[in-house]
Amino acid sequence: MLVLTESYPTPEHPGRAVFLEEQARALAALGCRVTVLFPRPSWPLVPGRWLEPRARHYGGRPWAPRPDDPPIRRPAYVYLPRLRGPRTRSLARLVGDELARGAHDLVHAHWFGPAAGAAVAAAAPRGIPVVVTAHGGDVYRELDRPGHRRRALEAGRGATRVIAVAPHLAARLGTLPGLSGKVRVVPNGIDEERFRPVPRAEARRRLGWPDDARLVLYAGALVAAKGLPELARAFDLLAARTETRDVRLVVAGTGPLAGRLEAWRETGAFGARIDLLGWQDHDRMADLLNAADLFVLPSHAEGNPVTVLESLACGTPVVGTTIAALTEIITPGRDGLLVPPGDAEALAEALGRALARPPAREDLSGRARERYGWRAVARRIAAVYAEALPGTAP
């Protein structure tokens, strides 16, 4: 099986799409013969100042593989900024070369975009089935833009099966021409060995955090769409309450709002009780989630947020918003609490209530690890592969 992706961990960006690396390992552990095609972008005849900063990030070296890791191929492909056609055709040539060279009976492309189109263009003429995974933002980004929609629909029609990481994405995809009956829901997975409950005092000791404070953790991109302006307002409201004087907010992540958060720490009512940590690796994230009393994600939109799954696997409840992605994961009163997106007052109230009456950590962890652990998720992906292989009706 050939996995095609334009995003994968590198030493320069070790957190990028790390779930794909974990997924490839989990599928290989099931007995799937996996090769990862993660091409290096090249920009012929394009002056450097015109390159998209995002595209530059994909040029790094791949991780040094572990002995049991699937092999990774990194040939160069043409990445011309904003021009999807040449990019798709270049990717398709690489996929074709790999299919001609290797014994691959299936191609699994990630994200609706050039990778999906390239997989279909190269594999379909050879009679090789294609599975495409839709991760969230790509569903709306590709299908809501007229310039991208046609190619995305062509990829969907050509795919043998489509995996959506959440039910609300599957519902959207299932209404599109050519996709009815092809879509299967398989959530993102988590490393159940890494994300498991450990004593809170032990995790805090490793982090050097105080044992006598109640800690709320946010981890993710520092962007407005994640609800960070409302989060700041909610904590300023909590600052005035006697019962929350021992509460601290810990923020892990990077993004364009980092400067505004620094300013808020200097001037906001909550002030000195904010810790801005920047990007954190997976091992440290496990300690952060175990050390926290609550995880908060006040997003306006999500696909299937892995940090929420990891938080629950560590036994840490979640306060989030009533967007589809979170209502599909969180049962209010059992796993945490949900409030309308954009409502800082409701968010402050929910944080106060959740801190006062947290659920049992063991119950949260057991449910999440059973449902979202990579072993279980990989088996569900392998079942989709079995449907897609020759002899199965589309």
Same domain, 37 and 152: yes
* Residue 225: per-residue pLDDT: 94
- Residue 394 domain-assigned (yes or no): no
Phi, psi of 44 (to 5 degrees): -65, 135
CA–CA separation, 93 and 113 (whole Å): 16
| Residue 115 pLDDT exceeds 70 | yes
Q: What is the span of the domain harbouring residue 24? A: 2-189+373-388
* Residue 394: per-residue pLDDT: 41
Same domain, 236 and 339: yes
CA 316 to chain CA centroid, nearest Å? 19
| Residue 51 pLDDT exceeds 80 | no
SS (HEC) of the chain: CEEECCCCCCCCCCCCCHHHHHHHHHHHHCCCCCEEECCEEECCCCCHHHCCHHHHHHHCCCCCCCCCCCCEECCEEECCCCCHHHHHHHHHHHHHHHHHHCCCCCEEEECCCHHHHHHHHHHHHHCCCEEEEECCHHHHHHHCCHHHHHHHHHHHHHCCEEEECCHHHHHHHHCCCCCCCCEEECCCCECCCCCCCCCHHHHHHHHCCCCCCEEEEEECCCCHHHCHHHHHHHHHHHHCCHHHCCEEEEEECCCCCHHHHHHHHHHCCCHHHEEEEECCCHHHHHHHHHHCCEEEECCCCCCCCHHHHHHHHCCCCEEEECCHHHHCCCCECCCEEEECCCCHHHHHHHHHHHHHCCCCHHHHHHHHHHHHEHHHHHHHHHHHHHHHCCCCCC
| Residue 393 pLDDT exceeds 50 | no
Same domain, 383 and 359: no
| Residue 132 pLDDT exceeds 50 | yes
Same domain, 208 and 350: yes
Same domain, 247 and 313: yes
Does 329 or 16 have the greater pLDDT score? 329
- Give me the number of domains the chain comprises: 2
Does 222 or 46 have the greater pLDDT score? 222
Same domain, 347 and 382: no
Same domain, 224 and 83: no
- Assessment of whether the complete model's pTM goes beyond 0.85: yes
What are 155-210's pLDDT values in tens digits?
889 999 999 999 999 998 988 888 889 999 999 999 999 999 999 999 999 999 88
